[in-house]
Amino acid sequence: MRPKNSMSPSDQGRSPAQDALCSATRGWPGAALAVGPDGVILSASSMSGLCEGMKAPFEPPPTPLAAQMTDTAGRRWRISQDVDGMRFATADLRESPDAARRFTAAVSHEIRTPLNGILGMIELIEEGDLSAAQREYAAAIRKSGARLLDLLNNVLDYSRLEAGDIPLDEGPFDPSDLVQDVAELLSHRAHASGLDIAAIVDPNLPRTMIGDSGRLRQILFNLTGNAVKFTPAGAVLIEAASGPDGSGLSLIVRDTGVGVPANARARLFEAFGQVSAADAGRDGGVGLGLAIVARLVTAMKGEISLVSQVGAGAMFRVDLPLKAAVGEGDRKPSSPRVVRPPSVAVSLPPSSAMACLTALAEDGARWVDVEEDGATDADLIIVDAANPPARIEALARRRPTLVVMRPQDRALIGQFRDMGCAGYLIRPLRASSVLERARLAIGGDVQAVASGDPAVRAGAGQVLIADDNAVNALLAKSALSAAGYRVDVAGTGAEALERASALAYSVIFMDIRMPVMNGIEATRRIRRLPGAAGETPIIALTADLSPDVEDSARDAGVSAIAAKPIDPPRLRQLAERWARASAGVAG
């Protein structure tokens, strides 16, 4: 017989902590928590806006006696004495100075959940065979939904910052991963608008630095998202470099957009500030994104600047006094990676060309031109898939050629292989992939087809989707099934744990907020499973990518965190990357 307070993966009832919290706070209309001796939340009411596995918003009282404590948001918590290793805490939302903000946060989250489903389903519809009119209608729905989602995200972020206290959780992070992740998150939006987007990293920058990666990602996401919105044609380039004095970190976002007039630059960083009233109508926002950036930069003791010319684009620069992690050197290799520096011809949009040239600089590459008739003395040609097929084929017949395409163009890989291309690269370009594929092509090797490509869809791997929202689960299952994955669905964390205990999955997509057992606790328990099951890649999915949620998820052992909504191409990209990693295949 199982001990009374234990819980097996198949239990579908409430946990002991949930039962105890319900019993102790029955009838209480406000926020209620059950907290363990280490300050971790064991159970939380929906009104609290918190969830199991997160740290309580207050430090545990130093004695086992009842106490009252105030959290950083100014809310007063009444904390019970210790009861069987738990303490119960209640707060009256009407007493809280940030009650309106908490309400906004809760409502925003509830609105985003169905909105994520709408946006995802529209993405799937657009991948189908539509008439011109139907495609136009679907695009209108997608654009309107994306604007509403941006507005909700900014309102939620700004409501958090209005408290005046911005806690920073500093730790080691890789600047290269930071800029690449943001480029990949916004690539679908950029490509849908006909824009090129890429990220580059200064080779002199330390490999690992110390800072709040969650806040840095938020800064970069807002700046880059703003650039994509106001760039009707051309490109967006994200750069991580050393600061002006050679130390610290500079995050730079350049675009070829409409630019910002001098008399409007100061108010851009104020709440509800925009260049003109016309921008509000075109953008659909209310001018909070850059105000959020300015507050975060100030909290990090950094500076933000803007250089722009009307009609010629803009450059936003954030300089932060961050330090390198102890013992970390720069990104330069200790010795050359090739015997002879190669000559390379590049025919790509501007940002992707810059990313490609920066990556190949590690091998001392020499850049050469391609004549109109395709004549060149290059060892390698890297060409955009948007070029006419006849030109791509002519180049591929002359020299080893890599074709660069968008994620949604993977179905064309077979055609490019038939043209004679030695391999392909997916935008936004990763420096490591550019180097690897370039060396293989110059050496005469033809790139093998990756496990997620349409040519080898069958047997791509088995994926578990854990999400209590039926629409989101259907969206993920449809997108991954179309890519050849075998997909199972779990509606609770407990069900996900049970399935992970019984079957070997290539990757698990885990929603954080679920009933019975949330995604954080389910992840923590999966990591305790013996053997390979405990090492399965787990991607946390959340519509609320706040630093607190991100920290709790990483502490539980997730492999990566992705913000909802995730469009089908991005979902497949994540599945392919982590399924290959799970199988021990180099990415």
pTM above 0.75, yes or no: no
Compute the 3-state secondary structure of the chain and give helix, strand, coil in percent, each to the nearest 5.
Answer: 40, 20, 40
pLDDT for the residue 465: 94
Residues 241-252: pLDDT tens digits? Answer: 998 888 899 999
Residues 15-46: pLDDT tens digits? Answer: 777 777 777 677 676 788 889 888 888 888 87
CA distances from 114 to 119, 145, 369 (A): 9, 11, 50
Q: What is the widest separation between alpha-carbon atoms in the chain?
A: 84
> What is the percent of the chain where pLDDT is above 90?
26
Highest mean pLDDT among 48-52, 169-173, 553-557, 561-565: 553-557
Q: What is the mean pLDDT of the chain?
A: 80
Of 157-161, 217-221, 346-350, 491-495, the poorest mean pLDDT is in 157-161
Residues 426-452: pLDDT tens digits? Answer: 999 988 889 989 998 888 776 655 444
Over residues 162-170, mean pLDDT: 67
Residue closest to 368 by CA, chosen among 381, 359, 383: 381
- Sign of the CA dihedral with 431 first, then 433, 438, and 443 last: positive
Which residues fall within 8 angstroms of residue 448, CB to CB, at 6 or more apart? none
Domains contained in the chain, CATH given: 16-95 (3.30.450), 99-161 (1.10.287.130), 171-324 (3.30.565.10), 343-447 (3.40.50.2300), 456-582 (3.40.50.2300)
Radius of gyration of the chain (CA): 25
Which residues fall within 8 angstroms of residue 144, CB to CB, at 6 or more apart? 284
Over residues 261-266, mean pLDDT: 76
Cβ proximity of 438 and 344 under 8 Å = yes
Tokens encoding 317: 């620069």
Is residue 144's pLDDT more than 90? no
Over residues 217-246, mean pLDDT: 91
Identify whether 16 is preceded by a cis peptide bond (ω within 30 of 0).
no
Which residues fall within 8 angstroms of residue 185, CB to CB, at 6 or more apart? 221, 563, 570
Of 112-116, 322-326, 426-430, 435-439, the poorest mean pLDDT is in 112-116
Identify whether 62 is preceded by a cis peptide bond (ω within 30 of 0).
no
DSSP E strands, 361-467 = 366-367, 380-384, 401-405, 423-426, 462-466
> In whole angstroms, what is the distance from residue 406 CA to residue 426 CA?
6
Residues 517-530: pLDDT tens digits? Answer: 889 999 999 999 99
